[in-house]
Amino acid sequence: MLRRRRTSQREADMLKRVLTILFLSIMSVPTTAQRVTRLPEVDLALVLAIDSSGSVNADRWALQQYGYATALRSPEVLNAIAGGPNGAIAVTVVQWAEFADQVIGWHVIESRQSAEILARKLESLPYQADSSTGVANAIVSSIILLKTAPFSALRRIIDISGDGKENAGGVTPLARDLAIVNGMTVNGLPIVAQESGVSEFYESQVIGGPGAFSITVRDMKTFPAAVRRKLVREIASR
């Protein structure tokens, strides 16, 4: 009975988030007054959704932090940003397990200095592991952040990294399809560690939208290089 009530609560939470997305989709039609106000323009609005579920131990969390921070400092990523029409991207960071939390607010990267600020914020994030893996909740939370972002972005991407399949009661393909309907792309960085079939799960149920792709990490030592390649591809894509 307890298990059944918990599942129903998760389904209710998911439905609430879906209804929120639908509401935001309707409200996104600009009024005359809104058309007059121009939002800051960036080439890409990017959500970095980083897994902190129970299977991610402290060492693996630290490697994820190091990977993203190192990638943001790399000449390849900085050159890709500088090569865009606006020479700027907006990034926010989500830490997710059963549910998702925005742990770093929207940050514009337009220089080496601004990239360094975000890299240091990433490195200072505390390790807060939770038991379940809620990929669907991570995607839906990211959609809401992109829908409400204070930027006009040429492209909007959700970047999901994780080492497990959905087990928190969410419907991952539904969340993925909501992102696509809202003109967003979901890319994946599956980490093959303890659980089998993670790469296949990301390919079939997580990624989607224009130019969607997934890069599988089979050795955590290669994680920083994989993140760097992924960000360059996302930023430089036109």
Residue 127 CA, distance from chain mean position? 18
Tokens of 142: 């990211």
**Pairing between strand 41-51 and 89-96?**
parallel
Q: Are 89 and 108 in contact (CB under 8 A)?
A: yes
pLDDT, tens digit only, all 238 positions of the chain: 333 334 456 655 655 565 555 555 545 545 444 445 678 999 999 999 999 998 888 888 888 999 999 999 999 999 999 999 999 999 999 999 999 999 999 999 999 999 999 999 999 999 888 879 999 999 999 999 999 999 999 999 999 999 999 998 889 999 999 999 999 999 999 999 878 899 999 999 999 999 999 999 998 889 999 999 999 999 998 6
Q: Which long-range contacts (CB under 8 A, 24 or more apart) does 26-33 make?
A: 28/147
- Please tell me the distance from the alpha carbon of residue 33 to that of residue 61, in angstroms, as a whole number: 44
With a threshold of 0.75, does the pTM exceed it?
A: yes
Closest CA to 169 of 35, 10, 36, 3: 10
What is the domain partition of the chain in residue ranges? 2-25+41-236
- Please tell me the distance from the alpha carbon of residue 201 to that of residue 165, in angstroms, as a whole number: 7
Residue spans of alpha helices (H) in 93-222: 112-123, 135-147, 172-181, 198-201
- Please tell me the distance from the alpha carbon of residue 39 to that of residue 184, in angstroms, as a whole number: 18
Ranges assigned E (strand) in 9-115? 41-51, 89-96, 100-109
Q: How far, in Å, are 44, 164, 192, 199 from residue 196 at the CA level?
A: 33, 8, 7, 8
Q: How many other CB atoms are there within 10 angstroms of residue 5's CB atom?
A: 9
Residues 6+ apart with CB under 8 A from 125: 65, 93, 95, 103, 104
Burial of residue 186 (number of CB atoms within 10 Å: 0-12, 13-18, 19+): buried
According to CATH, the topology of domain 2-25+41-236 is Rossmann fold (3.40.50)
